[in-house]
Amino acid sequence: MAAEKPTARRDLLLKLQEEAQAKWVATKAFEVDAPANVVSTPDNKFFGNFPYPYMNGMLHLGHAFSLSKLEFAAAYHRMQGKAVLFPFGFHCTGMPIKAAADKLDRECSTYGCPPQFPAPMEAETEPAEPAEAAPAGSQEKFKGKKTKVAAKTGGEVYQWNILKNSAIPEEELVNFRDPVHWLNYFPPLGKRDITSMGCGVDWRRSFITTDANPYYDAFVRWHMNTLFKVGNKIVKDKRFTVYSPLDGQPCADHDRASGEGVGPQDYVLIKMKVMEFSGKLAALEERKGSVFLCAATLRAETMYGQTNYWLLPDGDYGAYEMINGEVFIISARSARNLSFQDMTPDFGKVRCLLELKGTDLMGCPVSSPLSFNEVIYGLPMLTILMTKGTGVVTSVPSDAPDDYMALQDLKKKPAMREKFGIKDEWVMPFEVIPIINIPEFGDASAVTVCEEMKIQSQNDRVKLDEAKNRTYMKGFYEGVMLVGEHKGQSVQVAKPLLKDQLCADGRACLYSEPEKKVMSRSGEECVVALTDQWYLMYGEEEWLAKAKECLSKMQLYSDENLRQFDITMGWLKQWALSRSFGLGTRLPWDPEFLVESLSDSTIYMAYYTIAHILQEGDIFGYGEHTIKPEHVTDAVFDHVFLGQPAPADCAIPADKLAKMKQEFEFWYPFDLRVSGKDLIQNHLTFTIYNHTAIFKPDHWPRSFRCNGHLMLNSEKMSKSTGNFKTLKQAIEEYSSDAMRMALADAGDGLEDANFVEATANASILRLTKELTWIEEMLVDTTLRAGGALTFADRVFEAELTMAVHTTLGHYEALNFREALKYGWFDLQTARDTYRLTCGADNMNRELIMKFIEAQTLLLGPITPHLCEHIWGNLLKKEGCLVRAGMPKMNMTKEHFNLQMAGRYLQTTISDMRKLIAKLETVKKAKGNAPVEVPKKVTGVTLFVKESFTGWHATCLEVLAKHFDSSKREFSANVDKEVLGALAADPEAAASVQGGEKMLKKLAMPFVQFKKAEAINVGAHVLQAKLPFDEKAVLLENAAFIQQALNLQSVSAFLTTDPEAASASEPAKVDGALPGTPGPSFAYA
C-alpha cells in the first residue's frame, strides 16, 4: 500500500487561510458602501461582476477559473486604493432545477424511496460521429458531435445517483423532490466555497433569483415592463423556435442538456406530386393528386434545373397525413417536426398511413414545381442523412457538384443502375439545364468546377466539399438568373421572391428543424415548433445600431472577442422570451408565461447596487425587512435607475430611497464582467442589448473579459470520466492559495486553459519554502547594512523596480499569467541570482526588506492568505493587506540599463563556462595516436566591441526603420529591404571574404536573430551600441567572474585598445560583437 502524501505544508497554508479569512470578516474588509457626494470615475471605483452560477449542484474548478479572473482584478484594484464592489448572486431560474426535481420524484414514485433501480443493462457502443465544419468563409460556428458512450445503464442516468455522487447525505436526497429545496440547499454551499476560495465578495448584496425572492421578482417585473413600454422590443407572434415536446414549451439554451447555441434551420419544402401509384404506393392511389414526395431545400431558386430527386435506398420513409387532406412522403423525424408546425390535423401528433423503404420509391415519377422536366424520377444516393431534412433530396446537377457527379456515376455505370433496379429511361435522357450564371464558373457552375478539379466520382468527398464551398457562396452573391420570370435578376433578389411565390401557390411550404441535435434537460430530443409566444426583437434595426454603438465603446481585451460579438450580432434575431414550465418570474402583462432564464439575467448587475438595502443581507429575501416587497414598485425602480421623479406615494423611507439612488449612481456602470467565451453568443450580447434599451449611455457596460474553458491535466473536465474536481475538493487538496496560483498559471486567452495538478502541488512547496526564507531573513544578522551599493545591489534593485512596473501593467491588462510570471517567477529568479552573485559579501538588508514587501504586495491578488500573514504577522504592518496598496517604484532608463547589464554579465559568464568546459574536455584519440591532455584554462581576457559597424550596422539601421515598437512587429518586406541596402553598399560585400554571396549567408541569420530579439525584448536591441558600458561592467565584476569560472585572472579591453593587437587568439577578438565579447584564454 502506497504511503500517504505528507500534508504538513498544505495544512500550514490551510491554517493561514482560515486566519486571514477570519481577519477579513472581523474587519469587514470587503463590505463597501457608495460614498456620499462623490462622483465615480474609473480612477476611484471598480465594479466587477460574474454571471451568477446555476444552483443545481456544487461549484467546480471551471467556475473557479472564470471567477478567479474577476477576483484577481478586483483584488488588484482594491489594492490600488479604489472603492471596489464585487457582489455575487445565485441563479435558480429556468428548467433545470424543476426538471431534475420532477425526475427525482418520478424515480421515487416508480422505484421506491430510497429507490431500488433495475439491474444495469449492457448497452452497445456507437461510433463517434465526425465533427461538421462550417463552409469555408462562412461565419457559422464549428460544432462537433459528441461521442455516444456505452454505459452499463442502458443509457439511463438516475437523478438520485447524480445527487448522491455530489456527496449529499442519502437521508437528505428525498427532500430534493421539491424544487424549492434546491434553492435553499445549494446557494449557501456556493457561498461557503467562494468564501473559502478567498474571494473579496460583499455578501450583503447576494440574492437568489425566481419569484421565491419577492424583491428580485419585483426587479425582473420592472425590467420586463420597462422593455415592453419602450416599444418594438417585445412582441407576441407565431415563430419557429426550438421546442421540448415533453415540457410543452420552447427550450432555451439554459434548458438544454446538449445543443446550446443551436437554433432553427429554415427550409422550403418542395411538394413533388406523385404521378403513378405502383407497388406499395398502390395503397395511396385513392389519394391521387394529394400525395407528395417532399424535399427540404435551401435553394428554391434552383428548382428550374431539376433532373431527378434522390432517395436513400435503405432509408425509412412514411406517408403521413397532413392538413388539407394532403399526404407527405418523408422521414419520421421530419414528420414529427412538421406536427409542431401547424402542418398536421392535431398539434404534436403524426399519423403514418404507410411505411416505406427508399427502395419502394425508386423510379417513382413526380411532377416537381418549376422544373423544366415535366416528370422526374427517384434515384439512389448513399450519402443522404435521414437526420437532416426529409430524406428526400432535390437534384440540380447544373449548380450542385454532388448532384452532378452522382448523376454522372449512374449514367456511366450500368452495373450501378442494375444494382438498384434503375431503368435507363429514368436517367439517360436527362441533361444539365443551365439556370444561373456565375461570372467565374459560367452557366453550369457544378460542371465547370468538377471538371477543373478533376473530380472522378461522387465518392471524392474532400474535393466535392471544396467544390461546393467554391460555388455556393459565389452563386448567392454573384449569380444571375438565366430562366424563369425573374430572369436577369440576381439570385439574392430572386431567392426570397420565389420562396414566397411557391408557398403562396401551395406548391411548397415552410419547414424548420434544429440545426443540430438538441436534448432538453428533461431527456427528450427537441423539435422546432411554430409557437405563439412573446419574443424579444433582437436584431431590430434601431436596437441593433445602439447595441453596436455600445460594443464599439467597450474594452474587450482581444480582437477575437470583438469578432465573436460582431458575428453574434450579425445572426441574432428574435429570441423567445417566455416559457410555461420551470422556475422564475411571470410576465407582468401575461402571467400565463414565465420569463425564460437568459432573459431575466441581463441587467441584474444594477440590482446588486441596491440589494443590501432591500434584502438587508438576507440572500433569500424571505424574512421581515424594513422595506417590504410590495413597497418596491416600478415607480421606485424608475426613480433609482432611470432618474425619474420619486413617486409621491412611496412607502420607502426617504433616506433609504436616497441611499438606493446614491448606490446606483456611484457604482454604475459596471467596469468589468468576466465570463466564459460560450456566453458571447447569448447572455453577454443580450446584456448589451438590454442595457442600451433601458439605461442612458453613461450607464452602459464598460468592458467584458472572456476566457476559454478549463481542462484538468490537459483533458476535458467530466464527471463521467472522473476527471473532475469541485471547488471544495480543490481547496481542501491544495489550499486556496496554491489552487489560485495554478488557476492564474492556467492561461488567460480565449483558448481553453489547463489546470495542472502538478503545478498546484508545486505551488504548495514554493509558497511554504518562500515563507520559511522570509522568516529566516527577518532574523538574519549577517545581512549587509549601510555602505555604497554594489553592482549586484544596483542590478537587483533595477530588477525589482522593473518587475513591479511590468507586473502592475499586466494586472491592469488582466493578463494574470504574465503578472504571476513577472511578479513571482521572474522575481524569484532575480532574488536567487542576487544571492548567488553576492556570495560571501552577503545581501543588502534594506534591499531584501524592500524585496519581501514588494513581492508580498505583488502576489497579494493571487495568494492573499499567505500574503496577509506575511504582511501583518511577519512584517508587522497595520491593517489588512487587501487594502494596503501596490508598491510604488519610479522606473527610469537607468533601471532598464542596469537590468540589461546584469543579464549581460550572467550570459557572459554562462558562455565562458561552456567555452572553458569545451577547451578542458579530453578529446577522443584517433587511431593509435596518444590521448592529448588538454591544457588548464587559468585566465581570460575579454575584448569588447563598442558598437556594430559595417554591414551589421546597415542591417540594424534598416530593421529599426521598419519596426513598429508599439505592435512589436516588422513590416512584411523588411528582409527584402535589408538585402537591398546591403547590395547598394559595395563596401559591405568587400568586407566579407567570399563577397556578396557570403555576405548574404552571414547577414540573414543575424537579421532573423535581431528580429526575434526585437519582437521579444523591444526596439532597443536594434541600436548599434548597447545602453551600458560593457568594459566597465566586466572590470567592476572581474573578481566575481574569476570566482564563478574558477580562474586566476580576468581582464577586459576594447577591441580598439593596443592590447587587442597582441592577443593570443586574434580570430576571437575579431569576432567580438556588442553584447558578445571575444575571449582570449590563458593556460597553465
Cis preceding-peptide flag for 53 (omega within 30 of 0): no
Look at residue 54 and give its three-state secondary structure.
Answer: strand
On whether the CB atoms of residues 445 and 475 are closer than 8 A, the answer is yes
On whether the CB atoms of residues 258 and 146 are closer than 8 A, the answer is yes
pLDDT of residue 263: 87
- Whole-angstrom CA distances from 445 to 196, 358, 410, 822 are 64, 29, 20, 57
CA 325/CA 323 separation, integer angstroms: 5
> Which cell numbers hold the place of 482?
438565366
Q: Return the number of other C-beta atoms located less than 10 Å from residue 581's C-beta.
A: 19
- Whole-angstrom CA distances from 34 to 27, 42, 602, 666, 1048 are 18, 14, 23, 6, 68
Residues of the chain with pLDDT under 70: 1-4, 120-156
Q: Return the number of other C-beta atoms located less than 10 Å from residue 1008's C-beta.
A: 11
CA 43/CA 49 separation, integer angstroms: 18
| Intra-chain end-to-end CA distance of the chain, in Å | 58
Consecutive H or E run containing 77: helix 61-79
> Which cell numbers hold the place of 993?
571574404
pLDDT of residue 523: 83
> Which cell numbers hold the place of 342?
401547424
pLDDT of residue 139: 36
pTM, two decimals, is: 0.81
Look at residue 703 and give its three-state secondary structure.
Answer: strand
CA 711/CA 854 separation, integer angstroms: 32
Residue entry with cell 470578516:
25
Instruction: Tell me the backbone φ, ψ of residue 179, rounded to 5 degrees.
Output: -60, -25
> Which cell numbers hold the place of 691?
442595457
pLDDT of residue 4: 62
Name the DSSP class of 524. -
Look at residue 535 and give its three-state secondary structure.
Answer: strand
pLDDT of residue 120: 67
Phi-psi region of 840 (alpha: psi -120 to 50; beta: other; left: phi over 0): alpha
The string over 69-102, giving b where at least 16 C-beta atoms fall within 10 Å of a residue's C-beta and e elsewhere, is: bbbbbbbbbbbbebbbbbbbbbbbbbbbbbbbbb
Residue 597, CB-side half-sphere exposure with 13 Å CA sphere:
26
CA 156/CA 123 separation, integer angstroms: 10
Residues 6+ apart with CB under 8 A from 1009: none
On whether the CB atoms of residues 943 and 1034 are closer than 8 A, the answer is no
Q: Return the number of other C-beta atoms located less than 10 Å from residue 988's C-beta.
A: 20
Q: Alpha carbon 975 to chain centroid distance?
A: 36
Consecutive H or E run containing 969: strand 969-970
The sign of the dihedral angle between the CA atoms of 18, 19, 21, 22 is positive
291-297/327-330 β-pairing: parallel
Instruction: Tell me the backbone φ, ψ of residue 432, rounded to 5 degrees.
Output: -60, 135
pLDDT of residue 1084: 87
CA 394/CA 387 separation, integer angstroms: 16
Residue 761, CB-side half-sphere exposure with 13 Å CA sphere:
7
Question: 726 has which bridge partners?
Answer: 60
On whether the CB atoms of residues 121 and 153 are closer than 8 A, the answer is yes
- Whole-angstrom CA distances from 981 to 355, 961, 990 are 79, 12, 14
CA 372/CA 306 separation, integer angstroms: 7
pLDDT of residue 148: 30
On whether the CB atoms of residues 1017 and 904 are closer than 8 A, the answer is no
Residue 154, CB-side half-sphere exposure with 13 Å CA sphere:
7
CA 114/CA 578 separation, integer angstroms: 36
Residue entry with cell 592529448:
932
Residues 6+ apart with CB under 8 A from 339: 346, 347, 348, 349, 350
Instruction: Tell me the backbone φ, ψ of residue 648, rounded to 5 degrees.
Output: -65, -35
CA 390/CA 387 separation, integer angstroms: 8
The sign of the dihedral angle between the CA atoms of 372, 373, 377, 379 is negative
Length of the chain measured in residues: 1084
Residues 6+ apart with CB under 8 A from 953: 947, 1024
CA 556/CA 558 separation, integer angstroms: 6
CA 337/CA 252 separation, integer angstroms: 17
CA 32/CA 161 separation, integer angstroms: 42
